[in-house]
A = this chain, B = another copy of it.
């Protein structure tokens, strides 16, 4: 028996949305603005759900890797924006732990992570998580965020991962609302195609 490799490619349109590599993102708001734009572009381009994420180097403010939700485009339930960004960053630095590779990184996410992405954070070697919309905002639109442990920001902080919440929340919520208004697919594992 032989099996196909798993392959997840970022959409070609990303290069039109991303700034020049030398661009420096100094503030949490500037980093969030980029991932919200990624989420909005992912809707416009029809490549997936209304979620964007990115890994930034906190020492120099540079973007290391972007991510968008690719669940429907790649037929892969694991391809949430956060995990796409983290896996791409790990591939770029050649280490499964960004911390071990010497990187001091923030994962910026347009919406607070679902249970899967939350569970993935400690394994990825990030130092900071920055979130736009709350998980309650995602649920209000119809997305299922899964069963997260109570007090999850506290649990991340206990593991040495700083948590920033509500960064540009209104703008992040607006993208979720836009997706709902235009009748975007609310996918999960329950049986929808």
Q: Which residues of A contact B (CB under 8 A)?
A: 1-10, 14-15, 18, 20-21, 63, 65-66, 71-72, 74-79, 83-84, 86-88, 90-92, 94-101, 114-126, 144, 146-150, 152, 155, 160, 187-193
Contacts and interface: CB of A to CB of B under 8 A. Distances in A.
A96 to B, nearest CB: 4
Given A97-B77, A100-B193, A188 B147 contact: no
Contacts of A123: 71, 77-78, 114, 116, 146, 188-189
B77 A90 contact: yes
A76 B8 CA distance: 13
Given A77-B86, A116-B117, A119-B146, 12 more contacts: A1-B63, A3-B14, A6-B7, A77-B97, A99-B190, A99-B191, A100-B193, A114-B119, A115-B119, A123-B189, A125-B190, A148-B149
A91 B116 contact: no
Nearest to A21: B1
Nearest to A115: B119
Contact of A84 (B6, B20, B77, B119): B6
Given A84-B6, A91-B4, A122 B97 contact: no
Nearest 5 interchain pairs by C-beta: A115-B119, A116-B119, A125-B189, A77-B123, A5-B9
A191 B123 CA distance: 10
B191 A97 contact: yes
Contacts of A95: 75, 193
B124 A96 contact: no
A1 B99 CA distance: 23
Given A119-B118, A120-B116, A4 B92 contact: yes
